[in-house]
């Protein structure tokens, strides 16, 4: 291999890295904008609202790999933190980062191993279930206690807000079962459906070798 070939490969690698960074920034910015549009749900308290910010994260994960997906998720949370601040000293934002990664990383990894439509579906289903599990755990042991402390109210008050919209919610456990779990399952399903419908149309733009 001569010097020209080496330099050509190095230039190609540099170009790909720059392109990936630009795409991560672009998808993160789109995700932050999508976070502004939240949809309330009839079965959960008003502070649980669905947004579709995971759509660009999942698209980026499929196109560029799991690590790129984690980077998009991180930059999204960082930008939102910088723009809107926090009421939980960053704890809520960190938990949201983990919940987002819980969906996109398994989905992207499975799709990378099985680069087919079936692999994508299995990946998104797995990611949705994993996000629901992690979301329930973090809400029960991190987010809800943190929110209660931040707003100076007992956990029972938050549970009461759940009871007001769903009589089956009578404790922290039932709150997680009847509000948090359905919330994450529904979000995962909707995000997966949107990505399933749009990915093939926009993925060529994001492919590093396109």
φ, ψ (nearest 5 deg) of residue 61: -65, -40
* pLDDT for position 15: 78
**What CATH number is associated with residue 101?**
1.10.1760.20
Kindly report the pTM of this predicted structure. 0.88
> Which residues constitute the domain of residue 51?
3-206
pLDDT (tens, 9 = 90+) of the chain, 210 residues, equals 556 655 566 666 777 788 889 999 999 999 999 998 989 998 888 888 899 999 999 999 999 999 999 999 999 999 998 888 877 767 778 888 999 999 999 999 999 999 999 999 999 999 999 999 999 999 999 888 888 887 788 999 989 999 999 999 999 999 999 999 999 999 999 999 999 999 988 877 776 544
Number of domains in the chain: 1
Sign of CA dihedral 22, 130, 42, 121: positive
């Amino acid at each position: 291999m001569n010097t020209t070939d080496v330099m050509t490969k190095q230039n190609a690698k540099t170009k790909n890295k720059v392109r990936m960074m630009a795409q991560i920034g672009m998808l993160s910015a789109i995700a932050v904008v999508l976070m502004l549009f939240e949809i309330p749900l009839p079965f959960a308290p008003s502070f649980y609202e669905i947004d579709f910010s995971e759509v660009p994260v999942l698209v980026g994960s499929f196109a560029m790999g799991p690590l790129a997906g984690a980077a998009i998720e991180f930059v999204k949370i960082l930008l939102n933190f910088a723009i809107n601040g926090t009421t939980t000293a960053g704890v809520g934002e960190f938990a949201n980062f983990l919940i987002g990664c819980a969906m996109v990383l398994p989905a992207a990894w499975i799709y990378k191993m099985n680069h087919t439509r079936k692999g994508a579906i299995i990946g998104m289903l797995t990611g949705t279930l994993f996000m629901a599990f992690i979301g329930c755990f973090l809400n029960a042991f991190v987010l809800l206690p943190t929110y209660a402390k931040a707003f100076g109210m007992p956990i029972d008050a938050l549970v009461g807000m759940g009871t007001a919209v769903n009589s089956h919610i009578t404790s922290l456990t039932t709150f997680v079962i009847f509000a948090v779990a359905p919330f994450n399952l529904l979000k995962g399903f909707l995000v997966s459906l949107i990505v399933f419908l749009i990915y093939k149309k926009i993925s060529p733009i994001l492919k590093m070798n396109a």
